[in-house]
Amino acid sequence: MSAKTSPLITTDHPATPRRNGRCSRREFLRSAALGLTAFAAAPLLCGHAAHAATTGGKPMLIVYFSHSGNTRRLAACIQRLTGGDMAQITPLTPYPQEYDAVVEMAKQEQRRNVRPPIAPLQPDPTAYDTLFIGYPNWWGTFPMPVATFLESFPVGNRTLIPFCTHEGSRLGKSEQDLRRFCPQARLLKGFEVRGSRVDDAEPSVKAWLAELGLI
């Protein structure tokens, strides 16, 4: 949705040495010792990834809606940095690809407060306590398929972290709308970037996630 500026704004392991087809006692003990050393080191090697993929020991899910692909790429960047899982919000009726057509359709949906039907999300968001919510800024807020998700999913007191692509309107009023849709949720500071700059946004995304204590 970045083509125009608009209110719509988008291995194999080596074999153990053998003698006459059998491991020697010395070789067996050496292999066992190496295995224990590797096992003991594993938490040190994996600790950062384990922390990144969870908050307080609980997993994070990156939920997003994308039309042109900008928000999808931003979601993938967040996944690379956090190790979280991803789930796409997919309307059952796809939006048109032609820019002016989708601009007008989004405008009419917002005006009529439409809730477009969406496909079930995979993985199931109910298994997660922290949800990133990503979307393009359409007419000052998140698109109506995101509203469908927020109203159909029991958000409760989960942690929500918004992120958004746009072409000038930043997060708009989407954070206020998230608070209105999910009054019991813990809403953290959101991230926004122009859709045309998503591919260069990783340093800024990393700084934002670090500020939130997620990496």
Q: Which tens digits make up the pLDDT trace of 19-48?
A: 333 433 333 333 333 333 333 333 322 333
Element of type H or E holding 205:
helix 202-211
Q: Is the residue at 6 inside a domain?
A: no
pTM score, whole prediction:
0.75
Contacts of 112 (CB under 8 A, 6+ apart): none
**Residues 106 and 41 placed together within one structural domain of the fold:** no
**Residues 67 and 99 placed together within one structural domain of the fold:** yes
Give the model confidence (pLDDT) of 108-164 as tens digits.
Answer: 999 999 999 999 999 999 999 999 999 999 999 999 999 999 999 999 999 999 999
Question: Is 130 within 8 Å of 82 (Cβ atoms)?
Answer: no
Average pLDDT over residues 94-105: 95
- Per-residue model confidence (pLDDT) at position 56: 57
Domain range for residue 88? Answer: 53-211
Question: Is 167 within 8 Å of 1 (Cβ atoms)?
Answer: yes
Report how many domains make up the chain: 2
**Residues 37 and 66 placed together within one structural domain of the fold:** no
**Residues 155 and 71 placed together within one structural domain of the fold:** yes
**Residues 42 and 109 placed together within one structural domain of the fold:** no
**Residues 126 and 166 placed together within one structural domain of the fold:** yes
Q: Give bridge partners of residue 138 from the DSSP assignment.
A: 141
